[in-house]
Amino acid sequence: MYVIFVVAIVALLVVADWETIQRNFFNAELAREMFPDVLTIAARNTILYTVLAFSFGLGFGLLLALMRLSSIAPYRWVATLYIEIFRGLPALLTIFLVGIGIPIAFGTRWPTLVTITLGLGIVAAAYMAETIRAGIEGVPKGQMEAARSLGMSYTWAMISIIIPQGFRIIIPPLTNELVLLIKDTSLLFVIGTTPATKELLKFGRDLLNTNANATPLIVVGAVYLMITVPLTQLVRILERRNARSR
């Protein structure tokens, strides 16, 4: 198997048209022209949109998780319905609905950041809600019983004891959700952008169309990896730490 692998690599090196590949995928001059805008505009916007959507999704997801765990049946029904709907719908459809469908229906236009935050955050909240619920349920029941025996109310025990411990359990999957949101920002091109609000993929795609060259996509892909790879490594570190603590 090692010999087959080496032979395949050598054959690829011999057969490939490296001049064409270099010209169309690794054009150094075109890559230099993308800087610093690819970082100061596209990457900055991508990170900003991710932070806004993640913050909204985390807050709303916590609320949904608590509704799922509530003893009041209508709260559980509403939260379950929301989670099942938005986990089942494509994120692109939700972005279309928030960014185009609702404004057309009501004859209004939301600020760009509001549209982006809702478009991505609504879907993220559905996934985070289930993650947060699993984390809360993973806290031993004795923690709540001990808090109540000390005279704490149920609400204060949840806020000060159960939820913090639950979040410690779910930090790795929440970090994974952050990575997914970074990549989902590439769907925002469907709602239209201005030169100042382009995210990474839209920035690279426009240059691809202008220059008929795939180098911008390679550069944009490298910037995505610069953002996501450290986060995925952080997830692995956190998972190992959690495993050792358990």
Pick the residue with more confidence: 196 or 86? 86
Q: Give the CA distances from residue 219 to residues 73, 118, 176, 206, 215, in Å, rounded to whole numbers and listed in that order.
A: 51, 28, 23, 13, 6
Q: Would you state the pLDDT for residue 245?
A: 66
pTM of the model: 0.88
Output the furthest CA–CA distance in the chain (Å, rounded). Answer: 76
Share of the chain above pLDDT 70, in %: 98
Tokens 């993929």 correspond to 201
pLDDT in tens, 24-81: 888 889 999 898 899 999 999 999 999 999 999 999 999 999 999 988 999 999 999 9
109 Ramachandran zone, left/alpha/beta (phi>0; psi -120 to 50): beta
pLDDT in tens, 134-180: 999 888 888 888 888 888 888 888 888 889 888 888 888 888 899 99
- Nearest of 25, 29, 37 to residue 199 by alpha carbon: 37
Residues 218-239 have a mean pLDDT of 88
CA atoms within 13 A on the CB side of 9: 6
